[in-house]
């Protein structure tokens, strides 16, 4: 294939969908802090002046969900009415029930445990497929477009919170288009887009100048920019109305932002607000962990792993490893090695990745994958030697 372009986007923590993701994961964290075995499926919606939190939660502890939601909104920066959303005056509705007993039955005792004399295992909390991916385009082994889009979004928020300019507000989006060569290696940045909520008195010219100087130039390596790189800053010309006032928000509506920016498939299940018995979350982390170790071991330049589960059954019904012709051994051999080294049963994933901890709110913005800055276990390359040994 000749040169081609690929684009990924990110959003800031003040984006309405990300507000909802963070509230859902903050509720999960508060429960796990007191009850590591709590079952949580928490969804949030937000619109002008209103937050609605709903879901199924079974736990032995009490948490003040309304107080948690207000603190999340305050931390993001929506703390005054002129921003269009105020943590202290917005309405909050909660509608929480307990987890279905039919689902709990399959999670508490896996199908294997009920049908044979095996050790107690946690069954998958739902059916479905999950994908993990890694590539050698960046030091954290993530695709370059989503990696740079996240870094721009984080830098945009940093500029706002450190008051390097005085007109920025919490909502924002970033987007990066990367040009690849015939070997699918990134060679330059073709386009950068930054859209940021701002105070009405800020001019487009001032915003553009500041975003290039304070956000783009400190974030994107200069060698990737050239005279043909296109930069768009607030291309509509105005972005004053933002957050839940500008658009309703919903948990789980930014799943491609959460993962690989479209460079790899997504099984369809969201992460935020779900405890780790939900394989939508835990198995996606495990698949990323395995794929990253494959690339880190030098066994492939690109690796994609699909896991699939049946509800209430511990072992995945299928495991597929795909290296797109970049592997040093046949994919069939690599798949066997991966299944020897990694235990993809939900209980084993929870154990190996230490997932019953309150670590999730920090992941609810700027991506769940590639977050080496957070020290999460699925970003460790601690199975490299084991994979090489399994192939030998």
Note the pLDDT tens digit of each residue in 360-370: 999 999 999 99
pLDDT, position 112: 54
Residue 204 pLDDT exceeds 90: yes
Whether 84 and 246 have beta carbons less than 8 Å apart is answered as yes
Give how far the C-alpha of residue 204 lies from the chain's centroid of Cα atoms, to the nearest Å: 31
Residue 108 pLDDT grade (very low, low, confident, very high; cuts 50, 70, 90): low
- How many other CB atoms are found less than 10 A from the CB of residue 230? 10
> Which H or E run contains 240?
none
pTM: 0.93
pLDDT, position 117: 40
Whether 249 and 272 have beta carbons less than 8 Å apart is answered as no
pLDDT, position 106: 47
As a dihedral over the C-alpha atoms of residue 235, residue 241, residue 246, residue 251, rounded to 10 degrees, the angle is 90
- How many other CB atoms are found less than 10 A from the CB of residue 277? 29
- Stretch 75-83: mean pLDDT: 91
Residue 114 pLDDT grade (very low, low, confident, very high; cuts 50, 70, 90): very low
Distances from the Cα of 67 to the Cα of 26, 88, 93, 136, angstroms = 11, 10, 12, 42
Least confident span in 1-5, 32-36, 188-192, 283-287: 1-5
Residue 81 pLDDT grade (very low, low, confident, very high; cuts 50, 70, 90): confident
Return the percent helix, strand and coil in the chain, to nearest 5: 35, 25, 40
pLDDT, position 110: 52
Query: 316 CB contacts (<8 Å, ≥6 apart)?
Result: 283, 307, 308, 309, 344, 345
Residue 392 pLDDT grade (very low, low, confident, very high; cuts 50, 70, 90): confident
For residue 317, list its beta bridge partners. none
- Stretch 311-326: mean pLDDT: 95
What is the chain's mean pLDDT, rounded? 93
Structure token pair of residue 62: 């009490």
- Stretch 362-381: mean pLDDT: 97
Whether 31 and 57 have beta carbons less than 8 Å apart is answered as yes
Residue 102 pLDDT exceeds 90: no
By three-state DSSP, how is residue 233 classified?
A: strand
């Amino acid at each position: 294939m000749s040169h081609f372009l690929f684009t990924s986007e990110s959003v800031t923590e003040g984006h309405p969908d990300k507000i909802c993701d963070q509230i859902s994961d903050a509720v999960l964290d508060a429960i796990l802090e007191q009850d590591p075995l709590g079952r949580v499926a928490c969804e949030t919606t937000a619109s002008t002046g209103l937050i609605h939190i709903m879901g199924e939660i079974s736990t032995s502890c009490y948490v003040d969900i309304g107080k948690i939601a207000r603190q999340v909104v305050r931390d993001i920066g929506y703390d005054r009415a002129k921003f269009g959303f105020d943590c202290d005056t917005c309405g909050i509705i909660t509608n929480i029930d307990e987890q279905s007993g039919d689902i709990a039955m399959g999670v508490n005792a896996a199908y294997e445990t009920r049908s044979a004399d095996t050790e107690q295992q946690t069954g998958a909390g739902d059916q479905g497929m999950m994908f993990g991916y890694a590539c050698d385009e960046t030091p954290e082994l993530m695709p370059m477009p989503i990696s740079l889009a996240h870094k721009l979004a984080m830098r945009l928020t940093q500029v706002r919170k450190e008051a390097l300019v005085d007109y920025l507000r919490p909502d924002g989006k970033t987007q990066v288009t990367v040009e690849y060569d015939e070997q699918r290696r990134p060679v330059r940045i073709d386009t950068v887009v930054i859209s940021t909520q701002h105070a009405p008195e800020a001019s487009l010219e001032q915003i553009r100048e500041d975003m290039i100087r304070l956000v783009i130039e400190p974030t994107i390596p200069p060698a990737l920019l050239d005279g043909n790189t296109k930069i768009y800053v607030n291309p509509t010309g105005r972005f004053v109305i933002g957050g839940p006032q500008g658009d309703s928000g919903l948990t789980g509506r930014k799943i491609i932002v959460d993962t690989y920016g479209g460079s790899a498939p997504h099984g369809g299940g969201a992460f935020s607000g779900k405890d780790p018995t939900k394989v939508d979350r835990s198995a996606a982390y495990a698949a990323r962990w395995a794929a990253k170790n494959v690339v880190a071991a030098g066994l492939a330049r690109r690796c994609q792993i699909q896991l699939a589960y049946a509800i209430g059954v511990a072992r995945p019904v299928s495991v597929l490893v795909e290296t797109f012709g970049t592997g040093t051994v046949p994919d069939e051999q690599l798949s066997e090695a991966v299944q020897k080294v990694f235990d993809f049963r939900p209980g084993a994933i929870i154990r190996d990745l230490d997932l019953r901890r309150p670590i999730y709110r920090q992941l609810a913005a700027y991506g769940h994958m590639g977050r080496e800055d957070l020290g999460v276990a699925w970003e460790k390359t601690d199975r490299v030697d084991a994979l090489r040994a399994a192939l030998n």
